[in-house]
Chain A
Amino acid sequence: MSSVSGLASVLYINLTNETSKVVNRQDLHDKYLGGTGVATMLMHEEFKEGTDALDPESPIVLSIGPLSGIFPCCTKVVAMFRSPLTGEFGESHAGGRLAMAMRFAGYSSIVITGRAKRPVYLSIYNNDIRFKDASSIWGLSSTTDIGKILRNVEPSAGKRSIIRIGTAGENRIRYANVNVDTYRHFGRLGLGAVFGAKNLKAIVVSGDGEIEVPSKSAYSKIYKEIFTNIVETDLMEKYHNLGTTENILPLNELNGLPTRNLQQTFFEYAEMISGENFADNYLIRKISCAHCPIGCIHIAMLKTSFGPSHEYEVRHISYDYELVYALGTNLGILTPEGVLELIDKCEQYGVDIISIGVVLAWATEMSMQKRFTTEETKEVLLKWGDVKNYLRAIDLIVESPNEFYSALAKGVVFASGKYGGEDFAIQAGGLEIPGYHTGVGNLVGLTVGVRHSHLDNGGYSVDQKAFKNNLSDEEIVDMLIFEDDIRGVLTSLTICLFARAIYTYDAIIEALATIGIERSEEELIELGRDIFMKKYELKRKFGFDLDDVTFPSRFFETASTNGMIDEARVQNVLSMYKKKRWGADRT
């Protein structure tokens, strides 16, 4: 269907045999475009039932979309895998340079199966695919240093992408992430552990391809329109100015900011770790993913002393809203320095910060109730705001020297199943929650979302609308379904969701047309719905059933933006969602 060649090449990598092949999968791309749609179908093909998340044969799929590298803000790569954290559907999106690098290397998807016999990293430069020995960087304590080392031995400075795991991935911490170009991540659901189980330390991708478009004048015109919309309207300004941390103060004001393991939804010291304070006193640069004009990645400077004779080091650390929630308000941390120290610790190990933040918050409450022995905790006494002990606890989780820390390394569902405290293990669908307690929309949205992420359907945003305009339950359900579906289209085109206001259906249709892909709005809407359903088929294969979902009672004991949440109402909204999605007789 597309008249642009090279947008449907899938690179299949087998780590066990160290072989690779390229297959043109126009069939999949004609129907599913790319990104999350194509990844879902590749996952259906590659996943063999009964394969555990960390089995050698468990597949990893990385996909970009037809607009990647061609239009601005189409900067994401979709990763799909079976999650070692939840045991079910794993999907995570990352920016950085990877999408651009894959496009100009000539691949729309990369499928990885097998397990290398020794630690390896993959070097992909155009059609030159190499399996290189990574023994000397396996076990290195810093993901930043991994980047520095690979940078010196691989080609294409400035245009390549280097994705890698830290020791957390090697040790198969179930919420280990994959670091993408230092400041971005495949963060959630544990892709890092899947890399670790495959003995795959890193992937370096670059290429110098060129893409021919059918009509350059039409392409340049639409490009300019989209670009102008991005930079000359205020649709995306907030992401550049304060960035996502601009939400700390408003959500605090609205009682939507989970604090001290969601015992409350406002933080008395919110101003001290607000986006404003970070920007005024710690921010040193803003950078972009490749081919994005926004610059939403906020980098703070942390100067610390490491010796008595005025010995200092300076670290550059990226921060955003979710991190300030997970390692800030939810642990009662009072200072930006404390938050940045904790972020950097997690970054160097390569763990998902939302998950480890929730695990630590749960463990703090347990600890304060004296439900652990000092032998178990190795005498690390967790209490709110105590940065030093949290740093030590993160070391121990990644190291996993005993049964207790090994349990914490398996996530809050596992740990609370073993030690108790399930009522305040704040998870939805098995995944530690992001930084919102806004109401029914958020709670149901997280539960039904395919990856139980706030980005699946933006339930927190539905709640903010409900707060202003009193939405009915049916309106809430309809909005969640609408968002679930349109986001399936956006992420099939790997458009950054921050640009969702730019890429309306009209803009998408025009952009696709310039590369020879004709779609109507109706077809796109149907595609979004179809992808959602296909993902639920995968979820069922992995053992997920919406009927089995239970909620920690904490959700119903702490006031949200929209007041106390009534569990019966949540169940009712959930039933309504199921009915609208699958009809009365199926859940």
Chain B
Amino acid sequence: MMACARTYYDTVSLKNSAIDIQTSGGIESAYVAVVCHACIEPPCAKVCPTGALVKRKGGGVVFHKDLCTGCEQCVGACLVGAIHMDRDAKAIVCKHCGICTSFCPHDVLEMRKVGDADDMHTKTSCEEVK
């Protein structure tokens, strides 16, 4: 989370991370990583009224921050809860850059190429943190 937030924002924070680590029932239970699943037909893009979120080749979305009006339609449309808002009321959404995986020391998050080498779409695989 720290890595994601500092890569895309000028500040140090947890809140500006596109990947969110939660506990399901307290620290005694398993951790859960909530992050964009890179839907092939992304519901968030469908409900975006301004075209800020656009379907991305291979899955997920491309986010045009300047077009985002902060309506939060995408937040509700995302079933996995992978979108939240920053303090300027702009959506925070995963770019699948993989920076989080390079700061994960325990084989939990990994960067995986999907499809052939020409298709640079990548996916962070992190359903559950051990």
Identify the A interface with B (CB < 8 A). 69-70, 100, 104, 144, 147-148, 151, 157-159, 181-183, 208-213, 216, 219-220, 223, 227, 230-231, 285, 287, 291, 293-295, 316
Query: Chain A residues near B6 (CB, 8 Å)?
Result: 216, 219-220, 223
Do the beta carbons of B13 and A316 come within 8 Å of each other? no
Interface: B23 (CB within 8 A): yes
CA distance A213 to B2 in the complex (A): 14
* Residue interface mask B1-30, A partner, CB < 8 A = 1: 010001001111111100011110011100
Query: Chain B residues near A69 (CB, 8 Å)?
Result: 12
Query: Chain A residues near B106 (CB, 8 Å)?
Result: 293, 295
Given A210-B9, A210-B87, A293-B105, are A147 and B15 also a contact pair (CB < 8 Å)? no
* Residue interface mask B64-75, A partner, CB < 8 A = 1: 000000000000
CB distance from B16 to the nearest CB of A (A): 7
Query: Chain B residues near A295 (CB, 8 Å)?
Result: 105-106
Given A144-B28, A157-B23, are A291 and B12 also a contact pair (CB < 8 Å)? no
Do the beta carbons of B28 and A210 come within 8 Å of each other? no
How many residue-residue contacts, CB under 8 A, span A and B?
63
Given A285-B130, A295-B106, are A213 and B12 also a contact pair (CB < 8 Å)? yes
A157, A210, A219 pick with most chain B CB within 10 angstroms = A210
**Could you write out 19 A-B pairs with CB less than 8 Å apart?**
A104-B13, A104-B15, A158-B20, A182-B26, A183-B27, A208-B13, A209-B15, A210-B87, A212-B11, A212-B12, A213-B11, A213-B12, A216-B6, A220-B6, A227-B103, A230-B105, A231-B105, A293-B106, A295-B106
CB distance from A422 to the nearest CB of B (A): 41
In the complex, which residues 28-79 of chain B have their Cβ closer than 8 Å to any Cβ of chain A? 28, 31
Do the beta carbons of B14 and A147 come within 8 Å of each other? no
CA distance A230 to B103 in the complex (A): 11
Do the beta carbons of A151 and B26 come within 8 Å of each other? yes
Do the beta carbons of B22 and A157 come within 8 Å of each other? yes
| Secondary structure type dominating chain B contacts | loop
Closest to B103 in A: A227
Query: Chain B residues near A285 (CB, 8 Å)?
Result: 130
Do the beta carbons of B14 and A100 come within 8 Å of each other? yes
Do the beta carbons of A216 and B22 come within 8 Å of each other? no
Query: Chain B residues near A227 (CB, 8 Å)?
Result: 103
CA distance A157 to B23 in the complex (A): 7
Query: Chain B residues near A291 (CB, 8 Å)?
Result: 2
CA distance A211 to B21 in the complex (A): 20
Do the beta carbons of A211 and B20 come within 8 Å of each other? no
Do the beta carbons of B11 and A211 come within 8 Å of each other? yes
Query: Chain A residues near B23 (CB, 8 Å)?
Result: 157-158
Do the beta carbons of B22 and A158 come within 8 Å of each other? yes
CA distance A151 to B29 in the complex (A): 13
* A-B interface, 8 closest residue pairs, ranked by CB to CB distance from nearest: A210-B11, A158-B22, A210-B13, A231-B105, A211-B12, A293-B105, A208-B15, A182-B27
Do the beta carbons of B13 and A209 come within 8 Å of each other? yes
CB distance from A6 to the nearest CB of B (A): 11
CB distance from A285 to the nearest CB of B (A): 7
Query: Chain A residues near B9 (CB, 8 Å)?
Result: 210
CB distance from B40 to the nearest CB of A (A): 28
Query: Chain B residues near A182 (CB, 8 Å)?
Result: 26-28
CA distance A159 to B13 in the complex (A): 11
Query: Chain A residues near B105 (CB, 8 Å)?
Result: 230-231, 293-295
Do the beta carbons of A316 and B10 come within 8 Å of each other? no
CB distance from B85 to the nearest CB of A (A): 11
CB distance from A82 to the nearest CB of B (A): 30
Closest to B29 in A: A316
Query: Chain B residues near A210 (CB, 8 Å)?
Result: 9, 11-13, 15-16, 87
CA distance A159 to B21 in the complex (A): 9
Do the beta carbons of A159 and B27 come within 8 Å of each other? no
Closest to A290 in B: B14
CA distance A177 to B21 in the complex (A): 28
Closest to A284 in B: B130
Do the beta carbons of B26 and A159 come within 8 Å of each other? no
A sample of 15 more A-B contacts (CB under 8 A), given A210-B11, A216-B6, A287-B31, is A100-B14, A147-B26, A147-B27, A157-B22, A157-B23, A182-B26, A182-B27, A209-B15, A211-B11, A211-B13, A213-B11, A287-B27, A293-B105, A295-B105, A316-B28
* Residue interface mask B92-123, A partner, CB < 8 A = 1: 00000000000101100000000000000000
CB distance from A102 to the nearest CB of B (A): 13
CB distance from A171 to the nearest CB of B (A): 25
Closest to A206 in B: B14
Query: Chain A residues near B21 (CB, 8 Å)?
Result: 158
Do the beta carbons of A148 and B26 come within 8 Å of each other? yes
CA distance A211 to B11 in the complex (A): 5
Closest to A293 in B: B105
Query: Chain A residues near B12 (CB, 8 Å)?
Result: 69-70, 210-213, 219
Given A182-B27, A287-B27, are A159 and B14 also a contact pair (CB < 8 Å)? yes
Query: Chain A residues near B87 (CB, 8 Å)?
Result: 210
Closest to B16 in A: A210
CA distance A143 to B20 in the complex (A): 27
CB distance from B38 to the nearest CB of A (A): 22
CA distance A157 to B21 in the complex (A): 10
CA distance A182 to B28 in the complex (A): 7
CA distance A243 to B123 in the complex (A): 33
CA distance A213 to B20 in the complex (A): 22
Closest to A213 in B: B12
